[in-house]
Structure 1
Amino acid sequence: MNSAHEMIAPATGTQGGDGLLVSLRSAVETHGNKCFLVVDPSLRALEDNRAEGALFSQPKRASVPVGHDAFAPEHWPCLIELDLSTATGTALLAESVRAALADRLPESLARGQGQRTGGWLVGADSLQDVVDHWSTSLVQFDNLGRRCLLRFYDARVLALMWPALSPVQRRRLLGPVQTWYALDACAELVTYTAPGRSQSDLEIEDAQWIEFHRHGIINRALALFMNDAGRQPTQQEVQAAVDSAGRAEQYGLRDHEDKIAFVGHSLAWHSSFDAHPAMRSVLEEVSRGAMYGAAVSELDSRVVEEIRRGTWFKSHH
């Protein structure tokens, strides 16, 4: 098994719902028919579907306390225990998969409606064990000494965080959980796992915090790109977004929307668009204090089309 994550089944949009559910149910059945559903109620609640017998308000559940004044108790992440040996548990699993896929539709992401379902946890002895571990892991001090919430219960954030973590940190993040099933950045079902068991502190390094603070920019740019393209991103596109977010900072971009636009151009134009000769003057303006959005808007449409075609890149490399 890949120590980073292993793909189980494709789930693009709503097309892979049935296959995803079969794969997930099979995986949970090997762990005693029980799993914990990760829920983020901060923007929208998971609503009961009485017609299907999926009543999220009824099963055993627990909220994870977030030790930060900016987060009201009703916005705390929560865990719901699903028992697949019961009809209710089976219905809840199916409804949670449906909700997870619905939240990944490009138009939903572009509207910023959030990810209600953060995945499915297996292998933990009790719900309280996970709650206790998460309550000590969610709030950390970043590289500037600020108290920050690590939103790893958001599957899109987890997908970007995981590759940056060391094997030891991955194990510490999982804590009492053996395996975490979730949709990755491309809406494919993956497993997050690491050998051993550990409930020690994560001990995030300064360089990792710098990466983590870019995740909001990256995910927003990906959401807008998905809405324009009408599809999920590929792994290569996700990586292009990650790489370009780092370059944006190196070029001195400070404005939030400017950074989103820069990453968006790496997705819509070319992954290395900023290496095009015509971008030199744009980036020079930025270095002198100009806004990126204003500077790049001066590019001729024919130049943008040339950047998109990419023939210039092949001739330079």
Structure 2
Amino acid sequence: MNSAHETVTPVAGTQSGDQLIETLRNAVKTHGDKCYLVVDPSLRSLEDIPAGGVLFSQAKRASVPIGHNAFAPEHWPCLIELDLSTATGPALLAESVRAALADRLPESIARGQGQRVGGWLVGADSLQEAVDHWSTSLLHFDNLGRQCLLRFYDTRVLALMWPALSSTQRRRLLGPVQTWYALDACAELVAYTAPDGSQFDLEIDDAQWIEFHRHGIINRALALFMNDAGRQPMRQEVQAAVDSAGRAEQHGLRDHEDKIAFVGHALAWHPCFDAHPAMVPILEKVSRGATYGAAVSELDSRAVDEIRRGTWFKSHQ
């Protein structure tokens, strides 16, 4: 696999909403003033603000069909064309940025309200071209033969999924799109790109599916951490969540909530908290069938304080 940052470029000057809007506006203008706004309406829709000239409902759009009965058409992701050369385009772009940032507030994430905005696509020749490509990329069979939806139009999923993809897979995911601008796991604007190449079907291998199936655990643990900390996670914290989710499975954790708690401890206590000697009997109990939640509740508070301080970790490296 390629490094996580090979084709993910942090976009400078995006610390405030106004700066982010200006950065996106400049990027879109280099592609003929048009971009395609990625929207996930499954939990909430982008609302019109008539007084501000924001009318998402009247903009040119197309839904991406999901060929499965479990997904009603009103829950299909859609792409909305934003034309900055029109009178309404700039207002729609600005409001989409505000909505994306609002959905990343820790309290919103913790409530599970979803990400309405999945980013901004530039470089595709037409709206329909992008929709047609996506319609063939959403449903796949995983390593166990189950049909699964790849929710890459959720920016929090995309941020975790992208580093696991090869250059070829990244190009196949982007398809006709040249650059996908989106908020990353830390709510910072990044540009996803890939070298030119073939655009055949996206094929995911077994090891990648195992990693992808952890993303729900990781994102839920990050959401709870964000709510407790009152801030966005830092990059090293996101990586700690990814790494600890894999270790949770190695330690034999099977319960969904147990895995979330384990990742949460990696975020709140220490990235490698499970290497502390006090965790040995806890994990032994888990290996014998105890739930992680019950076993770790017996951990002495003094041991937790020592784990948090981290001075012990040097002797384990």
TM exceeding 0.5: yes
Q: CA deviation at 1:106?
A: 0.2
Q: CA deviation at 1:179?
A: 0.4
Q: Is the 8 A contact 1:176 1:197 kept in 2?
A: no
- 1:9 — aligned with what? 12
- 1:115 — aligned with what? 115
Q: Is the 8 A contact 2:64 2:131 kept in 1?
A: yes
- 1:164 — aligned with what? 164
Q: Is the 8 A contact 2:186 2:235 kept in 1?
A: yes
Residue 27, structure 1, aligned to residue 27, structure 2? yes
- 1:315 — aligned with what? 315
Report which stretch shifted further, 190-199 or 158-167. Answer: 190-199
Q: Which 5+ residue runs of structure 1 have no aligned equivalent? A: none
TM-superposition CA deviations, 1:245-265 (whole Å, max 9, x none): 000011111100000000000
Secondary structure, in 3 states, of the residue corresponding to 1:98? Answer: helix
- 1:134 — aligned with what? 134
Q: CA deviation at 1:31?
A: 0.4
Q: What is the distance in 2 between the residues matched to 1:201 and 1:88?
A: 36
- 2:105 — aligned with what? 105
Q: What is the distance in 2 between the residues matched to 1:282 and 1:24?
A: 49
Q: Is the 8 A contact 1:218 1:245 kept in 2?
A: yes
TM-superposition CA deviations, 1:22-76 (whole Å, max 9, x none): 1111100100000000000001111111121111100100000001221111100
Q: Is the 8 A contact 1:64 1:134 kept in 2?
A: yes
Q: Is the 8 A contact 1:4 1:163 kept in 2?
A: no
- 2:199 — aligned with what? 199
- 1:80 — aligned with what? 80
Residue 262, structure 1, aligned to residue 262, structure 2? yes
RMSD of aligned alpha carbons: 1.0
Q: What is the distance in 2 between the residues matched to 1:125 and 1:184?
A: 25
Report which stretch shifted further, 43-52 or 98-107. Answer: 43-52
Q: CA deviation at 1:9?
A: 3.2
TM-superposition CA deviations, 1:190-234 (whole Å, max 9, x none): 000011143311110100000000000000000000000000001
TM-superposition CA deviations, 1:142-164 (whole Å, max 9, x none): 00010000000000000000000
Q: Is the 8 A contact 1:10 1:188 kept in 2?
A: no
Q: Which runs of 4+ in 1 moved over 3 A?
A: 9-12
Secondary structure, in 3 states, of the residue corresponding to 1:9? Answer: coil
- 1:226 — aligned with what? 226
- 1:44 — aligned with what? 44
> Which amino acid in 2 is paired with 1:5?
V
Report which stretch shifted further, 240-249 or 189-198. Answer: 189-198
Q: Is the 8 A contact 2:168 2:197 kept in 1?
A: no
- 1:287 — aligned with what? 287
Q: Is the 8 A contact 1:4 1:162 kept in 2?
A: no
Report which stretch shifted further, 191-200 or 17-26. Answer: 191-200
Q: CA deviation at 1:11?
A: 4.7
Secondary structure, in 3 states, of the residue corresponding to 2:290? Answer: coil
Q: CA deviation at 1:94?
A: 0.1
- 1:174 — aligned with what? 174
Q: What is the distance in 2 between the residues matched to 1:180 and 1:118?
A: 9
Q: CA deviation at 1:287?
A: 0.5
> Which amino acid in 2 is paired with 1:115?
Q
For normalisation by structure 2, the TM-score amounts to 0.97
> Which amino acid in 2 is paired with 1:4?
T
Q: Is the 8 A contact 2:13 2:23 kept in 1?
A: no
> Which amino acid in 1 is paired with 2:169?
Q
Q: Which 5+ residue runs of structure 2 have no aligned equivalent? A: none
Q: What is the distance in 2 between the residues matched to 1:306 and 1:210?
A: 33
Identity %: 82
For normalisation by structure 1, the TM-score amounts to 0.97
Q: CA deviation at 1:10?
A: 5.7
Q: What is the distance in 2 between the residues matched to 1:130 and 1:252?
A: 41
- 1:57 — aligned with what? 57
Q: Is the 8 A contact 1:8 1:189 kept in 2?
A: yes
Q: Is the 8 A contact 1:244 1:266 kept in 2?
A: yes
Secondary structure, in 3 states, of the residue corresponding to 1:260? Answer: helix
> Which amino acid in 2 is paired with 1:27?
A
- 1:149 — aligned with what? 149
Report which stretch shifted further, 100-109 or 17-26. Answer: 17-26
